[in-house]
């Protein structure tokens, strides 16, 4: 019999159940191609708020969406830190000035006779380990206290606020500011589309943008940088009373920054500028010091501040709540091994001691999960606390066992509690001991994925910061915004940022917009955007001098670097006197010439040269001295490198002192010696012209040092016209 004809081959028909499942999947995919989901495909209802116990309550551990997002983010890079990768650290001690028993039972804050060992790590946030020190960026300021009650980590920054209000947005923020993933550029910089696209859509970032566009993001040195705990924490005393507290580190050398042009040049000349500065200062015995200050707010009185104390994009103005200075931090020893100490140190805001507790700040609450999770990946397992740099100085007892890189050898039969089989080596909870006690705060129902309306004001404190700046600092902020946004290719992003700035100050927004090829700022453009409620608080203060850097106490000339420009024929007597006076005051004087080796003085003595104009340019110094001597002055005036050195120092606002014929080197700046040279402050501030005969009485040195102590002289004439 003939066989029946076979049908043409075609696609295999799925079973009914499989077909229905595929149909449903195709339909869902078509309708939700642009919908955010978890890694399991679950649609995310809110990507801006973590799940909390009430709108101002703590973040809940059950928020699996937050945990999945941050867990994935924490494990993106191995073994370099995802953020704060480039750091520098040092050992030292902390010593309280007085007992804080009224506010906290923390033992290390009680006895002025007790010094608590510390390890401090400074860092940049955005760049990789190989990036430069002087980029425009936030700086980390993390302190590990090795106390008798356990390790306490105060993990903060050099800026008192942050970009975001809820930790669920942290991966988005860092993804935006990191190099763009398609070409891995730019490195350690925020002047690119993805960061400003994100910032333009997050008005809550505006206050932080004002700080990062200011000179705070360009510190002169780690030693001249403030530190802040950022979040509100709690002090708990022995009676169980609670006070909100914000932490401040005040540098004894003053708060000083670099010029933007200077910072860029230093990045090329010495990418390790901050790291080298800290190391050399400690090695030479110039130990950096900070004072610890606290702002304390009575529990229950925080609503009177005029803003929400749980909002990490807000600060407490010092004009409103003064900072109480309660102790000092001294760094007096460099690490023995960079990797073993600075790289392996593991900080965590959840490392607390009795008497200090968290607040419900949703950014802080997310950090409490994220830091441990990060260390598991970066340091290879759960035993990172046993590394020498992380090990507590007090006894440590528990039943945690095994795991990668276990170093402790635990003895005994039992590894659980309670037990009856132990041989005396087991440990139990002592009901009579206090230990750590969480503050028994009343939580408000219901659990909810939403933000408190008290977090909605995004611009008032940005305005406060702007109003508090000096004229020069405002100019620098405008210039920074112009530079950053000029690197943004998409005009709409530039426009959104400028429109947001209009809510801070309309004149500020207009000044930024004028060079960017976009429309004038619209003060109403940012209002009413979906997902953001724009309201303003009634500010308690309009201006706060502590928010500016110019005009604050300068810290003198200790550790300031002074370049002394020399050539053959230099006058030695005035040079020696000023150099001696500066050195006795703690300044570091270096002779700079065209070549290494020696130069001859007018009297025939030989002076050893420390640096050349090529290997140590003006950006590496804080001030310039040009001694007298006709031959020396003539040689330097004919040397382009020397002329550029002085012009550049002038442009960057640094103090310059010229003695006798040394004034010839200022000729390009329009200064001449005149018939009767005397010590004068010329119309352009910070430039001193001295008669060598008057140097020996010490007055020239005193005036020179007083000018250096002001750090910079930004109000100079024609500073923008200087070709340097």
CA 630 to chain centre: 47
Contact 593, 566 (CB under 8 A): yes
Phi, psi of 366 (to 5 degrees): -70, -35
Known active-site residue 718: no
Give the whole-angstrom CA distance, residue 484 versus residue 486: 6
- Beta-bridged to residue 331, according to DSSP, are 92
Asked if residues 286 and 558 have their Cβ atoms less than 8 Å apart, the reply is yes
Q: Which of 49, 151, 157, 360 is catalytic?
A: 157
The conformation of residue 59, written as its DSSP 8-state character, comes to: B
Tokens of 706: 């007083």
Q: Which two tokens stand for residue 697?
A: 């009485």
Tokens of 675: 């018939």
CA atoms of 554 and 645, how far apart (whole Å): 24
Tokens linked to 30: 């078509």
**Residue owning tokens 């988005």:** 172
Integer angstrom CA distances of residue 136 from 264, 503, 572: 9, 24, 41
Contact assessment for residue 299 and residue 111, using Cβ atoms and an 8 Å cutoff: no
CA–CA separation, 699 and 683 (whole Å): 19
Q: How far apart are CA 191 and CA 212, in angstroms?
A: 12
Q: Is 5 left (phi over 0), alpha (psi -120 to 50) or beta?
A: beta
- Verify whether residue 84 is a known catalytic residue: yes
Sheet holding 623-626, edge to edge: 611-612, 588-593, 561-565, 623-626, 655-659, 687-690, 680-681
Residues 6+ apart with CB under 8 A from 247: 154, 156, 228, 229, 233, 292, 293, 294
Positions marked active-site: 84, 157
């Amino acid at each position: 019999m003939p066989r029946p004809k076979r049908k043409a081959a075609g696609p295999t028909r799925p079973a009914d159940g499989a077909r229905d499942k595929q149909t449903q999947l195709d339909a869902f995919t078509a309708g939700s191609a642009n919908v955010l989901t978890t890694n399991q495909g679950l649609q995310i209802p809110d990507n801006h708020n973590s799940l909390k116990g009430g709108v101002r309550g703590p973040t809940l551990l059950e928020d699996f969406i937050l945990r999945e997002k941050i867990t994935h983010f924490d494990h993106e890079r191995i073994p370099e830190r995802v953020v704060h990768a480039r750091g520098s650290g040092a050992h030292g001690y902390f010593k309280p000035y007085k007992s804080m028993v009224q506010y906290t039972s923390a033992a290390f804050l009680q006895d002025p006779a007790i010094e608590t060992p510390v390890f401090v790590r400074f860092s940049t946030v955005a760049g990789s380990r190989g990036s430069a020190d002087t980029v425009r960026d936030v700086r980390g300021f993390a302190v590990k206290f090795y106390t008798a009650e356990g390790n306490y980590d105060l993990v903060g920054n050099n800026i008192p606020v942050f970009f975001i209000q809820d930790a669920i947005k942290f991966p988005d923020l860092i993804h935006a500011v990191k190099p763009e993933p398609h070409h891995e550029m730019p490195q350690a910089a925020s002047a690119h589309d993805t960061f400003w696209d994100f910032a333009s859509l997050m008005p809550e970032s505006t206050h932080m943008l004002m700080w990062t566009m200011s000179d705070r993001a360009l510190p002169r040195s780690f030693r001249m940088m403030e530190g802040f705990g950022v979040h509100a924490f709690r002090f708990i005393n022995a009676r169980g009373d609670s006070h909100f507290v914000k932490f401040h580190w005040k540098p004894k050398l003053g708060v000083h920054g670099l010029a933007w042009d200077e910072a860029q040049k230093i990045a090329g000349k010495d990418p390790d500028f901050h790291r080298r500065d800290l190391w050399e200062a400690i090695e030479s015995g110039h130990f950096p010091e900070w004072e610890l200050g606290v702002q304390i707010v009575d529990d229950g009185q925080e609503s009177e501040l005029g803003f929400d104390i749980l909002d990490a994009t807000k600060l407490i103005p010092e004009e409103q709540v003064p900072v109480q200075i309660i102790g000092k931090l001294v760094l007096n020893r460099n690490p023995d091994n960079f990797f073993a100490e600075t790289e392996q140190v593991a900080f965590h805001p959840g490392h607390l001691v009795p008497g200090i507790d968290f607040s419900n700040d949703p950014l802080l609450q997310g950090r409490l999960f994220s830091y441990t999770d990060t260390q598991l990946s970066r340091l290879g397992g759960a035993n990172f606390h046993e590394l020498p740099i992380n090990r507590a100085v007090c006894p440590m007892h528990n039943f945690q066992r095994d795991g990668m890189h276990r170093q402790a050898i635990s003895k005994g039969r039992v590894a659980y509690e309670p037990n009856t089989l132990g041989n005396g080596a087991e440990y139990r909870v002592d009901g009579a001991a206090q230990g750590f006690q969480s503050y028994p705060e009343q939580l408000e129902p219901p659990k909810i994925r939403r933000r408190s309306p008290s977090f909605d004001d995004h611009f008032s404190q940005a305005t406060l910061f702007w109003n508090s700046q000096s004229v020069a600092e405002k100019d620098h902020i405008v210039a920074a915004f112009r530079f950053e946004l000029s690197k943004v290719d998409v005009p709409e992003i530039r426009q959104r940022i400028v429109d947001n700035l209009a809510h801070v100050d309309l004149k500020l927004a207009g000044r930024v917009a004028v060079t960017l090829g976009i429309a004038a700022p619209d003060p109403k453009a940012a209002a009413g955007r979906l997902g953001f409620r724009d309201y303003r608080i009634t500010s308690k203060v309009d201006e706060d001098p502590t928010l500016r850097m110019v005009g604050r106490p300068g810290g003198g000339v200790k550790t300031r670097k002074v370049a002394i420009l020399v050539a053959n024929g230099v006058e030695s007597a005035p040079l020696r006197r000023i150099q001696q006076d500066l050195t006795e005051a703690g300044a570091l004087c270096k002779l700079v010439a065209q070549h290494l080796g020696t130069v001859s003085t007018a009297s025939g003595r030989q002076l050893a040269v420390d640096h050349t104009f090529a290997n140590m340019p003006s950006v590496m110094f804080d001030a310039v001295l040009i001694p007298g001597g006709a031959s020396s002055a003539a040689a330097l005036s004919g040397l382009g490198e020397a002329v550029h050195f002085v012009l550049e120092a002038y442009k960057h606002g640094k103090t310059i002192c010229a003695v006798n014929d040394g004034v010839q080197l200022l000729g390009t700046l329009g200064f001449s010696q005149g018939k009767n040279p005397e010590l004068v402050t010329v119309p352009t501030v910070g430039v001193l012209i001295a008669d060598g005969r008057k140097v020996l009485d010490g007055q020239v040195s005193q005036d020179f040092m007083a000018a250096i102590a002001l750090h910079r002289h930004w109000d100079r004439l024609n500073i923008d016209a200087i070709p340097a």
